[in-house]
Amino acid sequence: MAGESILYSWIGVVLYFILIIAVTIKYYAKIKSLSDFIVAGRSLGLAITWGSILATWFCSGTALGGAMMAYLFGLRGVIMDPIGSGLCVVIFGLFFASTLRRLKYLTISDFFRTRYGPEMEIASAVVQILGYIGWLGGLLMAQSIVFQVLLGVNYEIGLYAATIFTAIYTALGGLLAVAILDFLRVFIFWIAMWILLGIGIAHVGGLGALASLGTDAFSILPGKDLEYLGYVGFFGILYYVASWINQGLGSLSCQDLVQRALSARDERTSRNASILAGVSYWIIGLTGGALIGLLGRIIVPNLEDPSMVMVAVAEKVLPPALFALFITGLLATIMSSSDSAALIPPSMFINNILPYMTKREISEALKLRLVRLLTIISTIGALLIALYLPHLYFLTQMAWYLMLFVQAIPFIMGIYWRKANRIGAVAQMIFNVVAWIILGTYFYNQTNDVWAAFYMPGPLILPIGFIIFVVFSLLTQKSHSPKQLTPL
C-alpha cells in the first residue's frame, strides 16, 4: 500500500479513536446500576436504537464475508447473511420486540427463567456466553488484520492493543456509550461503502457492466440440480434451507439483538427500530457488501484470497483520502460488533449465573464493579482462547450454532403458546442437541466440511424438535403447569 494511503488511514483511525474516548468519558459517570450497564437504563430513542442494532449486526462478516461470498457464488452466497440476518431482525421487530420490552428483562435468559425455570435459563446463558466469547475472539483478530495488512502495524502489537482498548472502553461505557458509538459508526461505514460502490461502478463503466456477469450471479434460488454452495441434490437443498433458517430463526433470541430491544425507551420504539434496522441491513448488506463483491469479479478477477476482495477493490479504485475513510469505516464495523460481543458474557454471568453460585444478596454497586472487571477479563480471555486454544475456540464456535437448537423453539412458542412448559422445552433441547451431534458427525464424514456439518442438520432436526416440544408440553400440563410471562 502506498505511504500516502497509510498516512491518511492513520489520521482517520486516530480521529476515530479520539471520538471513542470522548464518548466513553462522557457516559461513564451516567452508569449507576447493572440495568444502566446492560440495557442503557432503557432510555434509547428510535435513532440510537436503530443505529445500535444495525451497527452491531453489520460486522466484518457481513462486509468482507458478504463481498467474498458474492464474489465466489453471486447473490446465492449471501442468503444466510445479509438476507437471512435482515429477515431475522424484521421478524423480531414485527412479532417479539414490543413484548420483550414490556416485560423489562435485562437478558434473554431472564425470559427463559420466567417462562421455563432455571434449567433453561442456565442453558441459554451458558450457550450464549460461550458463543459470544468465540465470536469476540474472531472479531478481535479481524481488528488486528486491519492494523497489520492495511496500516503496517506488527500483528501482535495491533492484536493486543486493539483488544485492551476495546475491553477498557466497553467496560467503562457500557451499552450506553456503545449504542451512541454504534449510531455514529453506521454513518461512517455507510458513507465509506457507498463511495466505494459509486466509484467502483464508475470504474467498470456503469451498472450495465454487471449484466456481463449473467443472470445466475443475481439469483437467490438453488442452481441446476439443486446446487447450492458447491453441493447438489439432497445435500444442496438442505444447505439452502439451513442458510435461511440458521440466522432467520436461530438469531431471534440472541442477546445482542434482544439487548437493543430491551434498551429502547418504550415498546413502540423497540418495535419500529428493529423493523427499520432489518430493512436497513438488507440495503447496506447488499449494496455495501454483495454488490462490491460482484464488482470485484470485474475489477480484480482471479484473486488468490477472495476474503480480501473488498479491500482489493478499494485499493484499486480509491484515492488515498477516500481509502482512509474506507479503512476507518471497516474498522468501525468490526469494533461495533466487538464491543457488543464483549458486553454479553459478563452481563449474562452476573445476571443469570452468579445468583445460583452465592446465597447472599449482591448490591448494585458490587454488580457493576464485577461486570466491568469481567468485561476486561473475558475480552482478553476471548483473544487468548482464539489464539492459543484452538480446540476450545472451536467449541465456542459450536456453541453459537447450538443457540438455534437450544432456544429458538422455546422462545417462539413461549411468546405465542400459553401451554408451553418446562418439560417440553427441556425435552426438545436434549433431542435437538443430541440429534445435531449425530447428524453433524454424519454430514462431516460425507462432506469433510465442518460448515456443512454445522448447518445441514437444522432442517431435519427442527420439525421433529417442534413436535417433541408440543407433545411433551401437552402430556405434562398437570404435573408441570405452564408458567406465564411476568415483568421484572
Task: In whole angstroms, give the CA distance from residue 239 to residue 466.
Answer: 20
pLDDT of 349 reads 96
In a domain, 299, yes or no: yes
CA distances from 453 to 242, 433, 456 (A): 11, 13, 6
* Cell, residue 301: 478477477
Q: Is the separation of the CB atoms in 375 and 129 below 8 Å? A: no
State the helix-helix crossing angle for 85-95 and 233-248, rounded to 10 degrees.
50
CA distances from 2 to 148, 276, 315, 323, 354 (A): 14, 39, 10, 11, 51
pLDDT of 397 reads 63
Which residue do the cell numbers 434509547 mark?
A: 44
Predicted confidence (pLDDT) at residue 51 exceeds the cutoff of 60: yes
Q: Is the separation of the CB atoms in 252 and 408 below 8 Å? A: yes
In a domain, 190, yes or no: yes
Q: What is the pLDDT of residues 391-440, one digit of tens each?
A: 665 666 677 788 999 999 999 999 999 999 999 999 999 999 999 999 99
Distance of CA 144 to the CA centre of its chain: 19
CA distances from 255 to 6, 217, 348, 470 (A): 37, 34, 9, 25
pLDDT of 395 reads 63
pLDDT of 190 reads 84
Q: What is the mean pLDDT of residues 373-383?
A: 91
* Cell, residue 52: 445500535
Q: Which of 326, 29, 341, 383 is nearest to 178 (CA)?
A: 341
Task: In whole angstroms, give the CA distance from residue 442 to residue 235.
Answer: 12
**Other CB atoms closer than 10 Å to residue 447's CB: what's the count?**
16
* Cell, residue 319: 484515492
Q: pLDDT band at 390, cuts 50/70/90?
A: low
Please, what sign has the CA dihedral across residues 134, 140, 145, 150?
Answer: positive
- Prediction pTM value: 0.92
Predicted confidence (pLDDT) at residue 44 exceeds the cutoff of 60: yes
State the helix-helix crossing angle for 46-57 and 267-285, rounded to 10 degrees.
40
> What DSSP state is assigned to residue 367?
H
**Cis bond upstream, residue 82 (ω within 30):** yes
Predicted confidence (pLDDT) at residue 4 exceeds the cutoff of 80: no
pLDDT of 151 reads 67
pLDDT of 149 reads 66
Number of C-alpha atoms within 13 angstroms, CB side, residue 325? 14
In a domain, 172, yes or no: yes
In a domain, 315, yes or no: yes
In a domain, 485, yes or no: no
Q: Which of 240, 235, 250 is nearest to 443 (CA)?
A: 235
What domain count does the chain have? Answer: 1
Measured in Å, how far apart are the chain's first and last C-alpha atoms?
Answer: 54
Cβ neighbours of residue 7 under 8 Å, at least 6 residues apart?
320
pLDDT of 159 reads 80
Q: What is the pLDDT of residues 147-187, one digit of tens each?
A: 776 667 777 787 888 888 889 999 999 999 999 998 888 88
Q: What is the 3-state secondary structure (H, E, C) of 231-300?
A: ECHHHHHHHHHHHHHHHHCCCCCCHHHHHHHHHECCHHHHHHHHHHHHHHHHHHHHHHHHHHHHHHHHHC
Q: What is the pLDDT of residues 96-146, one digit of tens each?
A: 999 999 999 999 999 999 999 999 999 999 999 988 988 888 888 777 777
Task: In whole angstroms, give the CA distance from residue 332 to residue 334.
Answer: 5
Q: What is the mean pLDDT of residues 208-217?
A: 91
In a domain, 279, yes or no: yes
Domain that holds residue 337: 3-406
In a domain, 173, yes or no: yes
Predicted confidence (pLDDT) at residue 1 exceeds the cutoff of 60: no
Q: What is the pLDDT of residues 349-367, one digit of tens each?
A: 999 999 999 878 888 999 9
Q: What is the 3-state secondary structure (H, E, C) of 201-248?
A: HHHCCCHHHHHHHCHHHHCCCCCHHHCECCECHHHHHHHHHHHHHHHH
In a domain, 208, yes or no: yes
Task: In whole angstroms, give the CA distance from residue 488 to residue 473.
Answer: 25
Q: What is the mean pLDDT of residues 452-465?
A: 95
Q: Is the separation of the CB atoms in 19 and 331 below 8 Å? A: no
- How much is the mean pLDDT over the chain? 90
Please, what sign has the CA dihedral across residues 93, 99, 104, 108?
Answer: negative
Q: What is the mean pLDDT of residues 313-321?
A: 91
pLDDT of 76 reads 95
Predicted confidence (pLDDT) at residue 308 exceeds the cutoff of 90: no
Please, what sign has the CA dihedral across residues 286, 321, 314, 310?
Answer: negative
State the helix-helix crossing angle for 267-285 and 155-203, rounded to 10 degrees.
70
Q: Is the separation of the CB atoms in 450 and 397 below 8 Å? A: no
Which class for 415: exposed (0-12), middle (13-18), buried (19 or more C-beta within 10 A)?
Answer: middle
Task: In whole angstroms, give the CA distance from residue 52 to residue 344.
Answer: 15
Q: pLDDT band at 5, cuts 50/70/90?
A: low
pLDDT of 58 reads 77
Q: Is the separation of the CB atoms in 101 and 270 below 8 Å? A: yes
Which residue do the cell numbers 454430514 mark?
A: 443
Q: Say which CATH number the domain at 85 has.
A: 1.20.1730.10
Greatest mean pLDDT among 31-35, 185-189, 333-337: 31-35
Predicted confidence (pLDDT) at residue 3 exceeds the cutoff of 70: no
Task: In whole angstroms, give the CA distance from residue 65 to residue 380.
Answer: 24
CA distances from 111 to 91, 254, 418 (A): 18, 12, 14
Q: Is the separation of the CB atoms in 269 and 45 below 8 Å? A: yes
Which residue do the cell numbers 436503530 mark?
A: 50
